[in-house]
Structure 1
Amino acid sequence: MPIEFAVDEHVTRLAGRVREFVREVVLPEEQACDGVLHDGPEPLRQRLQQAARDAGVFAPHVTPGLDLRGQAVVFEAAGYSLLGPLALNIAAPDEGNMHLLAKVADAGQQERYLAPLAAGEVRSCFAMTEPAPGAGSDPRALATTATRVSGGWRIDGRKWFISGAAGAAFAICMARTSGVPGDAGGATMFLVDADNPGMKIVRNITTLDEGLFGGHSEVLFDGCEVSGDAVLGEVDRGFDHAQVRLGPARLTHCMRWLGVARRAQDVALDRAASRSAFGRPLDELGMVQQLIADSEIDLEAARALLWRACWELDQGRPGAQHTSMAKTFVAEAVHRVVDRAVQICGALGISADAPLSRLYREVRPFRIYDGPSETHRWAIARRAAKARAAVR
C-alpha cells in the first residue's frame, strides 16, 4: 500500500479550525503568561480547554477517522503555540497516558482514570525515570520495587524528572516486581492516586524549559500501598505494555514540536522581510536566504519522515526503526530551525520582545526527552546491522 501524502478533507478542515483557534485564542494567553507553565495554573488550563470545547477542537485525537498521520497534521497546527496542545488536551504526558489506558486498562480502570483524563477533568503523570543509577535511557536499570503485601502491593523507590506530576490526579508508576536492575523483564505498571500517603512530591526540578504544565518533579514512593486492581496490564509485563505508549508518544512529541519550528520560521521570515541592512531587506541577502532555505528543507524533511513513521504504525507494523529515526531527526531539525530564526532576528531574537528565546529554551531538551538522540542512534544502528546480517 503506497504512502499517501494528500491530506483528507476532514483533516484539512479540522487543522484549519485548530490554526484559527490557536491564533485568536491561545497565542494571546501564551503572551500574557510568557509561556511559563511549570507552576501549573489550573484556571488557565480550564479556561483554555473550555474555549477549545466551544470552538469544537477539544481532544481531536478521539475524532473518528483520525489516524496517526491525520493527528500529525492537527497536532502540528496545535503546536504553533506552547499552550496549544494543553488547550486541546493533547499535551504530554496526558495524551500518551490516554493512549496507554485505552489500549491496556480494563473497563473499571478506564472508567476511573481514562474517562476523566480524556474529559480534561484531571491530569496525570508517567513515573518511569529514576536518578542514576536507576532507569533512564536504559529502562532495564529500573530500581523501584513493588512487593506483594496483604491485599495488594507496596511500592518503594525514587523517581525524578516526572513531567506534570505537580497537580496530577494519578501516576502510572513503573516498578520492578521480579528480577534485579539490569534484567530485561520483571517490570509492572501501577495506577497510583495522588492522595496516596505513600507517594510524595519531593521537589519541582528547575529546568531549562518552562512550558510543560506542572513542570518536572522528583517523586518518592515510600511504603506506597496499592490494591491488587491497581496493576495496569499484567504483572511483569510493564516493559511490553510501555511500548504501546512510547512509540506513538514519541511521534506526537514530534508533531507538536514541528508546530513550534514552523512558528519560529514564520517569525524569522517576517523579520527578514521587514528589516533592512546594507540597503536591502534581509531576505534579499544571500546568507540570510541560505538560513531560510535550510530551515524550509529541515521542516519538509522532518514532516516527511514523521509521516512515514506514522504510516508504519497506522498499518499495524512495528515501526520501531522509523519511530527512532523520526524522533532523532525531528528533535535536531526543530532545534536547527529555531536556532537559525534566532540568528536571522539578531538582538531581537535573543530578547523577550520576540518569542524565539523562549522557544529556544523549550526545544533544546527535546533532544533528551523520550530518549536522547545518542540512544536512538545506537538502536537504529543495531537494527540496521541485524537486518543486514539476516540477508548475508
Structure 2
Amino acid sequence: MSVDLHKLRERMRAFINEEVIPAEKVLGIASPDATATLKALQARAKELGLWALGHPAHLRGGGLPLYDFALINEIIGRSEYGQAAVGTNSMQDSIMLDLYASPAQRERWLKPMVNGDIRPSVGLTEPEVAGSDPTRIRTTAVLDGDQWVINGHKWFTSNANVAAFTTVFARTEGEEATPHRAISAIIVPAGTPGLEISRVVKTMGSTQGNHCELQLRDVRVPADHLLGERGAGFTIAQRRLGPGRIFHCMRWLGQAQRAFELMVERANSRYAHGSLLAEKGEIRRYIAESAAEIQASRLMTLDAARRYDQDGRALVEISMVKFWGARVLHNVIDRAIQVHGALGVTEDTPLESMYRHARYARIYDGPDEVHRMVVARKLLADLDAAPWAGLPA
C-alpha cells in the first residue's frame, strides 16, 4: 500500500480534534443520542478514508504496517472514543481471528467485525486466579459428542454486554498436558443458553463501563467453534496480547500529548503569586520532564512496532515500553492535573477521566511487575536480546 503518511496523519488529526473530541460529552453518556453520534462518526471516518487503517488489507482494512499505524494511532488516542470512531478498537481480535479462525468463523465473525457491524469480546481473566498467569485458568470446556460444554467464571470481559461473541479461554486438557498446552480458545455467540452477564463492574467511581462479569453454566456450543488448535489457547492469547500492548502504548501517547497540551495552555494563562504559572521554575520542570518522557516513550513505541514488523515478536521491546509507557501516561496526566489545581479534578476537563484510565494501564494486558520481570529475565540470560544490541558499534 502506497500512502502519504504525513497527509494521512493530518487528516486523522483534523477528524479527531474537530469532530470526535467535540462529541465526547455526548458519547460519554449511554443513550440513543450517543449511539447515533458514534454511528455518524463511523460513517464519516469511512467517507474520509480513515476507517480500520491498521487492519490487514485483505480484510478490507488500511493495511498499514505496525510502525506506520503507531504514528496514526497516537492521534486516534487523543480521544478515548477515537478507536471506536475509526474502527481500530477491534484490532487485537482481528489479528487473532485472522491468524486462527476457520473459513466459516472468518465469514461469520471476522468480516463484519472489521466493517464495524459487530463487536468482539474476550473472556480471559478470572477473579479467583491471577489474570497475569493464564496457565491457572479454572474455566473448563469438555467435549460432549459434537459440542463443547463450558463451565466457569470470568470478569473484566470488556464489551461482553454489547458484543456479538466472546472468545472464552478454558481448560480443555487433562493433567497430562503441560500448563502452556492445557488451554483452548472457544467462540461463544452472545445469547447462548447458560452464558449469563452477572453485572457490569463499576471501577474507580465511574458510573458506567463495559467490564463485565460472566457466569458460564453448562454453556453448549458446536465443536467447530474451537478457535485454532485444541490446547493452543496460551499461544493464541499471547499472539493477541503482544501487538495489543503496542496498540495501548500508541494510544497512551495521544492521551499524554493531549494532557501535555492542556498543561501548557493552563501554565500560559493562569496567573498566581505575582506571575504566570509558566514563569515558575517548578512548572517549567513539569513541562520539560513531561516533554522528555513523552518523546522517550514515543521512540520506544516506534522501535517496538518496527521490531514487531520484522519478527512478529519484539518480546523485550514490548514489555519494556508497556511498563514505561504506563508510567509516563500517569506522570504527565498527574502533572497536568496539578497545574490545573481544583479544575483538574472536575469533569470540566478530560483530565480526571484520563487519570482513571491511566491507573488501569499499569494492570491490564500484564501488570508492570510482570513486564519488568520479563525484561530482566531475558537480558540476564542474553544481552544480545537488548533493543540496542543491533545498533552499529
Please report the TM-score for the alignment, with normalisation by the length of structure 1. Answer: 0.91
Contact 1:140 1:182 in 2 (8 A): no
Q: 1:211 to 1:102 in 2, by over 3 A?
A: farther
Instruction: Determine the C-alpha separation between the residues in 1 that align with 2:11 and 2:283.
Output: 33
- Structure 2 SS opposite 1:60: coil
1:337 to 320, 332, 335: 332
Q: 1:210 to 1:108 in 2, by over 3 A?
A: farther
RMSD: 2.3
Q: Note the 1:1-392 alignment, pairs <5 A.
A: 10-33=4-27, 35=28, 42-62=35-55, 63-64=61-62, 66-91=64-89, 94-133=90-129, 135-179=130-174, 183-208=179-204, 210=206, 215-387=210-382
Cα shift readout 1:344-366 (whole Å, capped 9, x = no counterpart)? 11122122222211211121111
Contact 1:127 1:159 in 2 (8 A): yes
Contact 2:150 2:217 in 1 (8 A): yes
Contact 1:27 1:81 in 2 (8 A): yes
RCO comparison, higher one (Cα < 8 Å, 6+):
1
Q: 1:209 to 1:329 in 2, by over 3 A?
A: farther
The residue type paired with residue 186 of structure 1 is: A
Instruction: Determine the C-alpha separation between the residues in 2 that align with 1:338 and 1:97.
Output: 29
Contact 1:39 1:215 in 2 (8 A): no
Contact 2:26 2:34 in 1 (8 A): no
The residue type paired with residue 59 of structure 1 is: A
The residue type paired with residue 192 of structure 2 is: N
The residue type paired with residue 309 of structure 2 is: D
- Give the length in aligned residue pairs: 378
- Structure 2 SS opposite 1:202: strand
Q: 1:100 to 1:166 in 2, by over 3 A?
A: same
The alpha-carbon deviation at position 321 of structure 1 amounts to 1.0
Contact 1:97 1:124 in 2 (8 A): yes
The residue type paired with residue 78 of structure 1 is: I
Q: 1:374 to 1:293 in 2, by over 3 A?
A: same
Instruction: Determine the C-alpha separation between the residues in 2 that align with 1:337 and 1:317.
Output: 30
Q: 1:215 to 1:317 in 2, by over 3 A?
A: closer
The alpha-carbon deviation at position 388 of structure 1 amounts to 5.3
Instruction: Determine the C-alpha separation between the residues in 2 that align with 1:37 and 1:182.
Output: 44
The residue type paired with residue 187 of structure 2 is: L
The alpha-carbon deviation at position 46 of structure 1 amounts to 2.0
Instruction: Determine the C-alpha separation between the residues in 1 that align with 2:325 and 2:222.
Output: 41
The alpha-carbon deviation at position 182 of structure 1 amounts to 8.5
Instruction: Determine the C-alpha separation between the residues in 2 that align with 1:40 and 1:137.
Output: 37
Contact 1:200 1:219 in 2 (8 A): yes
Cα shift readout 1:3-44 (whole Å, capped 9, x = no counterpart)? xxxxx96222112111100111111110334x3569995434
Q: 1:330 to 1:58 in 2, by over 3 A?
A: same
Instruction: Determine the C-alpha separation between the residues in 2 that align with 1:20 and 1:275.
Output: 27
Contact 1:80 1:259 in 2 (8 A): yes
Please report the TM-score for the alignment, with normalisation by the length of structure 2. Answer: 0.91
For structure 2, the 5+ residue unaligned runs are 56-60, 386-393
- Structure 1 SS opposite 2:317: helix
Instruction: Determine the C-alpha separation between the residues in 1 that align with 2:324 and 2:163.
Output: 31
Contact 1:142 1:182 in 2 (8 A): no
- Structure 2 SS opposite 1:131: coil
The alpha-carbon deviation at position 278 of structure 1 amounts to 2.8
For structure 1, the 5+ residue unaligned runs are 1-7
Contact 1:40 1:166 in 2 (8 A): no
What fraction of aligned residue pairs are identical, expressed as a percent? 37
